[in-house]
């Protein structure tokens, strides 16, 4: 798989460098012949890494009767751990041109921190020119969600049902102990700077709470506020000052016991939500898809107050505005289900009524300005957040998101840095040693880069 990954990276970088003008890959040929014929295939193959999009597809597309009779939806689910999802996807993309019709990828999903790896290649179809979505379909989508998936020729290569402005999700009962109130406006005033956040962390510790769960809880706040890319135009690795601030803060929090030394996505990190962790950073998808389940003492019990800490939470902006993540649907070159792919994209990323429903029922901040404005001024209540309408807190932030520093290496950089600095946070090695370990590992992963 590593060999396949390397081949795909080289191929994609080469295509990006030449603007894909002279690509003669089997995928390009397949795209030319099959997407223009608009033939309806019998199997819709969708490549994903978890069931987040799968749930939305089933609830808002499949249940609406929009899957054509005789078509089987095949979910190819591969976790992201160890780059497994990208490896699986890369191998399938390399085989796309010669694959049997029922085995061809139709839709694949990408995340923000590696989307550019695929963007400037012929592996993804133009959403407007090839798939057939119109500018009207996308008129209410947040600008950054389109900018991030626009290639170097100006073609839009992916669409999303979500926008991902983030904030601080905190325990109401603990906030009353720390600040005398659980009101989001009061808590925001008390935590509007990192200095205030540090002071509150000391107070929380004195009362028996961790300010955050572990090392990585606020990493994406600092990552999203980088002003320079991880890799410059000459292939040199760059550690932005914002990342260095995260390193220094995490060392402070680990030394002082302000976190419980958990790694993001670990069982320990999740367990803290039902026990003694005060806050987590995240966007709307994190609330619904992750935190809500973590807070329940009885996993199969009701979503109600009294089941763990469910319902004892609220949302505010926190010390620094940020966005985190996002998932984009891409139409694979060579798909034999182009009309169905178009229908999926229209229904799940461009239909206002659907996006209102997803926001209300799943808690997502969806990718439609009109839909979000409607909910922000409505009587919508998120009961996990104690009845708060958190959408209203995110409206302004969503419009200001800019994602123009992302490189094809961001996911690898982020994961490697986080992994290699844990020994430093725990006092086992020096910061210099941690930096050396990071560079050694990342240059082994990307030998084309320089320190």
- Same structural domain for residues 245 and 291? yes
The residue from 375, 393, 408 where one domain ends is 375
Supply the pLDDT for residue 363: 84
Question: Does any domain span residue 395?
Answer: no
- Same structural domain for residues 280 and 426? yes
Supply the pLDDT for residue 15: 37
- Same structural domain for residues 242 and 342? no
- Same structural domain for residues 302 and 337? no
- Per-residue model confidence as pLDDT tens digits over 41-74: 999 999 999 999 999 999 999 999 999 999 999 9
Supply the pLDDT for residue 37: 47
- Same structural domain for residues 74 and 210? no
Supply the pLDDT for residue 8: 44
Structure tokens at 337: 């289900």
Q: Contact, 349 vs 329, CB < 8 A?
A: yes
Q: Quote the number of domains for the chain.
A: 2
The residue from 356, 375, 394 where one domain ends is 375
Supply the pLDDT for residue 325: 87
Supply the pLDDT for residue 113: 84
- Burial of 165-189, coded b for 16+ CB within 10 Å and e otherwise, reads bbbbbbbbebbeebbeebbbeebbe
- Same structural domain for residues 157 and 261? no
Q: Which residues of the chain have pLDDT under 50?
A: 1-37
- Same structural domain for residues 181 and 151? no
pTM here is: 0.81
Dump the DSSP string for 115-165. THHHHTSTTB--IIIII---TTTTTTS-HHHHHTTB-TTS-B--B-SB--B
Q: Contact, 325 vs 338, CB < 8 A?
A: no
Give me the CATH number covering residue 118. Answer: 3.40.190.10
Closest among 270, 125, 220 to 415, alpha carbons compared: 220
Supply the pLDDT for residue 401: 84
- Same structural domain for residues 148 and 284? no
Question: Does any domain span residue 92?
Answer: yes
Question: Does any domain span residue 226?
Answer: yes
Question: Does any domain span residue 431?
Answer: yes
Question: Does any domain span residue 391?
Answer: no
Supply the pLDDT for residue 21: 35
- Is residue 404 classed exposed, middle or buried when 0-12, 13-18 and 19+ CB atoms within 10 A define those classes? exposed
- Same structural domain for residues 314 and 269? yes
Supply the pLDDT for residue 10: 39
Question: Does any domain span residue 344?
Answer: yes
Contact partners, residue 253, CB within 8 Å, separation at least 6? 201, 211, 212, 259
- Same structural domain for residues 225 and 298? yes
Question: Does any domain span residue 387?
Answer: no
Supply the pLDDT for residue 4: 38
* Local structure of residue 401 (DSSP, 8 states): -
Q: Which domain holds residue 69?
A: 2-163+325-375
Question: Does any domain span residue 15?
Answer: yes
Supply the pLDDT for residue 38: 64
Q: Contact, 130 vs 35, CB < 8 A?
A: yes
- Same structural domain for residues 349 and 370? yes
- Same structural domain for residues 75 and 108? yes
């Amino acid at each position: 798989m590593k060999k396949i990954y390397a081949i795909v990276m080289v191929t994609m970088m080469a295509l990006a460098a030449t603007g894909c003008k002279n690509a003669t890959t089997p995928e390009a040929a397949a795209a030319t012949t099959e997407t223009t014929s608009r033939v309806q295939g019998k199997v819709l193959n969708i490549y994903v890494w978890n069931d987040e999009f799968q749930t939305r597809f089933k609830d808002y597309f499949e249940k609406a009767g929009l899957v054509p009779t005789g078509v089987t939806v095949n979910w190819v689910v591969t976790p992201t751990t160890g780059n497994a999802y990208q490896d699986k996807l890369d191998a399938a993309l390399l085989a796309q041109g010669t694959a049997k019709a029922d085995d061809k990828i139709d839709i694949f999903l990408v995340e923000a921190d590696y989307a550019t790896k695929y963007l400037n290649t012929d592996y993804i179809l133009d959403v407007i020119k090839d798939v057939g979505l119109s500018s009207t379909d996308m008129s209410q989508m947040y600008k950054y969600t389109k900018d991030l998936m626009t290639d170097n020729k100006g073609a839009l290569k992916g669409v999303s049902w979500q926008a991902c402005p983030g904030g601080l999700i905190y325990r109401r009962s603990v906030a009353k102990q720390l600040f005398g109130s659980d009101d989001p406006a009061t808590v925001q005033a008390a935590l509007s700077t990192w200095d205030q956040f540090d002071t509150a962390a000391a107070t929380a510790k004195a009362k028996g709470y961790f300010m955050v769960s572990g090392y990585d809880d606020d990493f994406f706040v600092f990552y999203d506020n980088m002003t320079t890319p991880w890799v410059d135009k000459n292939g040199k690795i760059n550690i932005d000052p914002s990342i260095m601030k995260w390193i220094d803060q995490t060392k402070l929090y680990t030394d002082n016991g302000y976190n419980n030394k958990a790694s993001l996505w670990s069982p320990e990190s999740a367990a803290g939500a039902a026990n003694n962790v005060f806050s987590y950073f995240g966007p709307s998808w994190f609330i619904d898809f992750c935190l809500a389940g973590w807070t329940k003492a009885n996993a199969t019990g009701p979503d109600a107050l009294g089941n763990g800490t469910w319902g004892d939470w609220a949302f505010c902006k926190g010390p620094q505005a940020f966005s985190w993540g996002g998932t984009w649907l891409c139409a694979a070159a060579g798909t034999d289900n182009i009309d169905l792919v178009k229908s999926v994209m229209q229904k799940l990323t461009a239909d206002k009524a659907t996006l209102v429903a997803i926001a209300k029922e799943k808690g997502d901040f969806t990718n439609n300005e009109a839909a979000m404005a409607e909910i922000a001024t409505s009587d919508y209540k998120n009961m996990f957040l104690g009845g708060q309408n958190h959408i209203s807190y995110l409206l302004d932030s969503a419009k200001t998101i800019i994602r123009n520093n992302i490189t094809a290496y961001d996911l690898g950089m982020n994961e490697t840095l986080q992994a290699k600095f844990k020994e430093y946070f725990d006092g086992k090695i020096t910061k210099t040693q941690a930096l050396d370990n990071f560079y050694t590992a990342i240059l082994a992963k990307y030998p084309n880069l320089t320190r």
